Structure 1
Amino acid sequence: MDGSEEPLADREWRLIREEAWSGAMNMALDEVAAETAAAGGPRTLRVYRWEPSTLSLGYRQDPDTVDWDYCEREGIGVTRRPTGGGGIYHDSRGDISYTVVAPADELPGDLVESYHLLCVPILDAFERMGVPARFAETERPAAHQPACYLRELHPAHDVVVATAGTERKVSGNAQHRRTDAVVQHGSLTYAVRPERHLAVFADAGVTPAAFRERVTGVADHADVSRSDGVERLEAALADWADATEGAWTDDELERARELAEEKYASDGWTRRRPGRR
C-alpha cells in the first residue's frame, strides 16, 4: 500500500478519550484492542494516563537496570511493553500517552513508512498545542542505553523540538507488529521531571541537568494546560481517522483485566531476563 494514501477515514474507528489505568492494564488494553481490530471490530485510537506513575520497560530490557527498591518505595508501578526500546518513566501528570491500533493489512508494510503515517496526528497535535515538533534529523549518541529518552535519536519514530541548534526529545513512539494487527503507542512529555525519571534506573550516571539537555516537554514551549493538551491530541487523532467517540465493551474490559493479572503485572513478564520468552 502507498503510504501517501489516506486509507483510514472509510474504516470504522473509535476514539477512547483519556482514561487512567495501571501500567499493566494499559498494556493489556492495547493487546485487547489489537484482538478486536483483527477480529473485524473497530480500529482503536486511545489516549491515557498512567495511574500510578509507571516505568514501562522495553521488551528486551534487562530487569537489573531498574531500581526496584526506589520504585516500590515511591509507589511507582513497573510493567514491560511488547515493544522494544528502553525504559520510560510515565509520570501520572507529566506524561500524555496514546495508542493507534489497526489491522496489519491496512497499514504500510515498510516500518518507517508506517511510523510516518501513524505519527501524522501526533505531529498535528503538537502543532495544535503550539509546540514546533518534528522528526529527529540529527544523530546523537546514547547517554544511558536503558533509558528510552536518553538513547540515540532515531528519525523514524523520535519526535524532537529544535532549540539553539540542539534537538531535544519530546515524544517517543514504538510499534508492535503482529501478523494480524499493528499497535503503535507513544509517550508525549508534557512536563519534564528529570529527577524522578532518572531515579527509577539503577546507576543511571546522568545528572538532571544533562537529562534536560536531551529532553523537553510541552510546558517548556507552550502556554497550554495538560488537560488542553490532551483535548488537542484527542481532536487530532479523531480528525485524522474520522473517528467517533467510543468505549470498551464489557467483554474487552474483562479480557484486559485477565491479561493484566496473568501477564503484564506478573514477575514472570516484568522481571524476565533478555532472551526469555
Structure 2
Amino acid sequence: MTLADREWRLITEETWHGPTNMALDEVAARTAAADGLRTARIYRWGPSTLSLGYNQSPESVDWAYCEDEGITVTRRPTGGGGIYHDYTGDISYTVVAPADELPGDLMDAYHVLCRPILDALSRMGIDADYVSESMPEIHRPACYLRELHPAHDIVADGKKISGNAQYRQRDAVIQHGSLSYSLATDRHLGAFSDPPAPDEFEGRVTSIRDLTGISRDDAVAAVENALADWADADPGEWRDDELADARDLAAETYATDAWTREKTT
C-alpha cells in the first residue's frame, strides 16, 4: 500500500516554534478529513524543544535547565516519553491521511507509514530496521531511552535512530516521528530531571552523522525525496487559513501551561 494514487502535498523542511508544530499537525488532520488533501511534511524546531508525551508528568522535566538553555517545552497529542528536538540534531516529519485509507491494525498502519523513513535511511547508506525484539528501558521519561518496541522503534547498528508515534483525530491518521541527525547528549539529558549518565544514552542512541558523516542538508533531502516518491506527492505549502488556525490553536492549547505544565492525565 503506497497511497500514491491519492492527492498529496509535500511541505519541505521549515522551522516552527514547538507549539506551532503540534498545531500544524492537527490542522493538517482537519484538512485531510474535510478536503481529502493528504500532507507529508518535514520540519525543525526553533528554538530547540522538548516535546512531552501526552500523559507524561511535568515533574519529569528540569524546568530551570530548559529555561536557562532556551529550550521550549510543549506536549504532544501522542503518548510515550519526552523527545528533545535539537534545532540542528533533529529531523522531524509528519504524515497525515484520511483514516479509512490506512489499515485499522495499529502495527500495520505504522509499517505503511514508516516505509519512507526506512527508505530515507537506506538512501543515506544506513542499514536500519524495526528493532527485532523489545529492549529494556533505561529512563522512562525519555522516549529514546524507553523500552524499544518492534512496531515503531527503528534501530541502526543496534541503537535507536528514529522514534515514531501515531494517533487518530477528526477521521484522519497523524503519524509524526523524529530522526537523530546528530546527538546533543548533554542538552537531551539535561532537559529531564534525574537523567541517566551520558554513556547510557550514547549506548542506546545513534545518529545519521555518526554513521555516515553526511551533511544535514543531504540527510533532509533524503527524507524529503523518500516521502515524495512514496506518496507521489506534489510540492505544496500551507494555505493562509491553515496557518491562521494553527497560530490560534498553538496559542489556545499547545503553548499554555494548562496543556504543558499542568496536564497529568
Q: TM-score range by the shorter chain?
A: over 0.9
1:185 Cα shift? 0.1
DSSP 3-state at the match of 2:177: strand
Distance 1:179 1:24 in 2: 19
Question: What amino acid does structure 2 have at the position aligned with 1:49?
Answer: R
DSSP 3-state at the match of 2:35: coil
Q: TM-score, normalised by structure 2?
A: 0.98
Instruction: Please tell me whether residue 192 in structure 1 is matched to residue 183 in structure 2.
Output: yes
Give 1:255's match in structure 2, choosing from 212, 231, 245.
245
DSSP 3-state at the match of 1:55: strand
The residue aligned with 1:26 is 21
Distance 2:254 2:237 in 1: 22
The residue aligned with 1:145 is 140
The residue aligned with 1:213 is 203
- Which range is displaced more, 152-161 or 129-138? 129-138
Question: What amino acid does structure 2 have at the position aligned with 1:248?
Answer: W
Instruction: Tell me if structure 1 keeps the 8 A contact 2:29–2:170.
Output: no
Question: What amino acid does structure 1 have at the position aligned with 2:163?
Answer: G
Instruction: Please tell me whether residue 181 in structure 1 is matched to residue 172 in structure 2.
Output: yes
- Which range is displaced more, 218-227 or 119-128? 218-227
Instruction: Please tell me whether residue 169 in structure 1 is matched to residue 160 in structure 2.
Output: yes
1:149 Cα shift? 0.4
Instruction: Please tell me whether residue 43 in structure 1 is matched to residue 33 in structure 2.
Output: no
1:42 Cα shift? 1.2
DSSP 3-state at the match of 1:70: helix
Query: Could you tell me the percent identity over the aligned residues?
Result: 64
Instruction: Please tell me whether residue 105 in structure 1 is matched to residue 100 in structure 2.
Output: yes
The residue aligned with 1:58 is 53
Instruction: Tell me if structure 1 keeps the 8 A contact 2:33–2:170.
Output: no
Distance 1:112 1:178 in 2: 17
The residue aligned with 1:91 is 86
Query: Which digits, 9 at most, give the CA deviation of each residue in 1:11-53, with x for residues without a partner?
Result: 1000000000010010000000000000024100000000000
Instruction: Please tell me whether residue 269 in structure 1 is matched to residue 259 in structure 2.
Output: yes
The residue aligned with 1:136 is 131
Question: What amino acid does structure 2 have at the position aligned with 1:202?
Answer: S
Distance 1:219 1:159 in 2: 16
DSSP 3-state at the match of 1:38: helix
In structure 1, stretches of 5+ residues that fail to align are none
Distance 1:22 1:137 in 2: 35
Instruction: Please tell me whether residue 244 in structure 1 is matched to residue 234 in structure 2.
Output: yes
* 1:37–1:172 Cα change, 3 Å: same
1:177 Cα shift? 1.4
Distance 1:81 1:55 in 2: 10
Query: Which digits, 9 at most, give the CA deviation of each residue in 1:189-237, with x for residues without a partner?
Result: 0001111110000111x11111100000001111310011001100000
Give 2:63's match in structure 1, choosing from 44, 63, 68.
68
Distance 2:172 2:179 in 1: 23
The residue aligned with 2:218 is 228
Q: Over aligned residue pairs, what C-alpha RMSD do you find?
A: 0.8
1:179 Cα shift? 5.1
- Which range is displaced more, 170-179 or 72-81? 170-179
Question: What amino acid does structure 2 have at the position aligned with 1:98?
Answer: Y
Distance 1:214 1:223 in 2: 19
In structure 2, stretches of 5+ residues that fail to align are none
1:131 Cα shift? 1.2
Distance 2:199 2:206 in 1: 12
Q: TM-score, normalised by structure 1?
A: 0.94
Distance 1:189 1:224 in 2: 13
Distance 1:25 1:62 in 2: 21
The residue aligned with 2:193 is 202
